Amino acid sequence: MNMPAEIERRFLVERLADKHGFPFSSSTSTLIRQGYFDTQGDSTFRVRLYGGKRGEFTIKRGRGISRDESYPSPIPDISFAELALSVSKHQVTKERFKDGRWEIDFFQGPLSGLIIAEIQLKTEDEKFKMPEWIRSAKEVTDSLTNYHLALLASELTENNLPALPFIYSSTQVPLPRIVLTGGPCSGKSGIIDLLRGSMDSIRFVPEVATIVIDQLSIRPSTDSLTKKFQKLVRDTQRLFEVASFQYAVIEGKKAVLFDRGTVDGAAYFPGGIRQFEHIFNTEIKKEFSRYDLVLCLDVPPEDVYNANRSNNPARSEDYRAARDLGDRIAQVWCAHPNFVFISNSGGWDAKVAKVKEAISKAIGS
């Protein structure tokens, strides 16, 4: 399908003009409700309702200032449009005003307080002026589409978190999100303790599975319980990630380091990544996109493992089981575009140094 190019620039309105404020009344606005369906690749499939009176389907492809957009397909039956919206996975509601070529959206619901202004252009380099009633705005053309906002609204609503502070903080220079993972006794805890003492510019997020096991006394013992356990871990992990990133920005940190990430769960399913994707209705690329760098520590040699295991009564795996689990963890993460495997070459000090070097490079220090 040949699709016309849509050229637009989008701005997050941080402050309206103090003197006149927003010079339009609600009588000139349109209430828009729109929902998105998960698709493959960089396409988005959208259903939109205007004022509860008419609906349409639209497909968009690409990202940035110029994207391909199908001509809107009208939905003749408004009840069908309402039904389509009700089953869409991610939704936003907004009040839209128009000022010439500008469209100004005041979001409602979980995104209440957010204002986005966008302008349709004839060419990518066309010159334009910001409306006088905008005092301060930040361009978010490449980072904050309506689809991104719908995804964010779903996640923040699900986790009962305030949306607006996170949206504003996430449009600033992004903080590197780093995962430190590895098999049993690979040295995660020891390295994180060392990093805490030497890298105070990093916010550290603890391992969720350990919290669930130690604090809630929940352990998987059967296949069905493994699925429930991993779902609990994943849901909690996502909550920790969103909240930790938000507070890292507020605190002026340079990075967030997670003790394991959501993809670790795939190593505990017999079907690996495919079973993980099926159970959680996700795609591995989508999970990878949550993180900017993945550091995977190798399981130590058998003599070192057995010595460490004897000091940790919670560690039940023998060396072969630990080795197998470590290999599975590396396998599920290795396709991440910024995956770094930290071997045991050179001993413990070299292992620590490799981790520090990779993190310093990621945060630019």
For the chain of 365 residues, list the mean pLDDT of each consecutive stretch of 10.
69 74 74 81 78 83 54 82 85 89 88 86 88 83 75 66 53 77 92 90 85 62 67 81 75 88 93 92 89 95 83 70 95 96 94 95 84
The answer to whether the CB of 57 falls within 8 A of the CB of 69 is no
Token pair, residue 349, equals: 């000090």
Domain residue extents for the chain: 5-170, 177-363
The CATH code belonging to domain 5-170 is 2.40.320.10
What is the pLDDT at residue 1? 47
What is the pLDDT at residue 298? 96
Q: What is the CA radius of gyration of the chain?
A: 24
Helix (H, G, I), strand (E, B) or coil at 97: strand
Pairing of strands 255-259, 177-182: parallel
- Separation between Cα atoms, residue 321 and residue 307, nearest integer Å: 16
Long-range contacts from 251-254, C-beta under 8 angstroms, 24+ separation? 251/203, 253/175, 253/201, 253/202, 253/203, 254/175, 254/176, 254/201, 254/202, 254/363, 254/364, 254/365
What is the pLDDT at residue 293? 96
Question: Quick count: other Cβ atoms within 10 Å of Cβ 177?
Answer: 22
Strand order in the sheet with 202-205: 202-205, 255-259, 177-182, 293-297, 339-342
Which residues 6+ apart lie within 8 Å of 56 measured at CB? Answer: 47, 48, 50, 72, 73, 74, 75, 81
- Separation between Cα atoms, residue 128 and residue 133, nearest integer Å: 15
- Separation between Cα atoms, residue 86 and residue 284, nearest integer Å: 26
Residues in the chain: 365
Cα 120 to Cα 9, 63, 99, 144, 282: the distances in Å are 7, 15, 12, 16, 33
- Going by the DSSP 8-state scheme, the letter that residue 58 receives in this structure is E
Element holding 43 (H helix, E strand):
strand 43-50
- What values do phi and psi take at 160, rounded to 5? 55, 45
Strand partners, 105: 96, 116
Cα 289 to Cα 261, 262, 292, 321, 334: the distances in Å are 11, 11, 7, 29, 14
Q: Domain 177-363 in CATH: superfamily?
A: P-loop containing nucleotide triphosphate hydrolases (3.40.50.300)
- Separation between Cα atoms, residue 133 and residue 223, nearest integer Å: 59
The answer to whether the CB of 281 falls within 8 A of the CB of 350 is no
In the numeric block, the tokens 């252009």 are attached to 121
Pairing of strands 43-50, 30-37: antiparallel
Nearest to 240 by CA among 283, 200, 209, 276: 209
Token pair, residue 144, equals: 């904050």
**Torsion of the alpha carbons at 97, 102, 108 and 112, rounded to the nearest 10:** -130
For the chain, where are the alpha helices, taking DSSP H only?
78-87, 146-158, 163-170, 188-198, 208-216, 223-250, 272-280, 284-288, 302-310, 319-333, 347-363
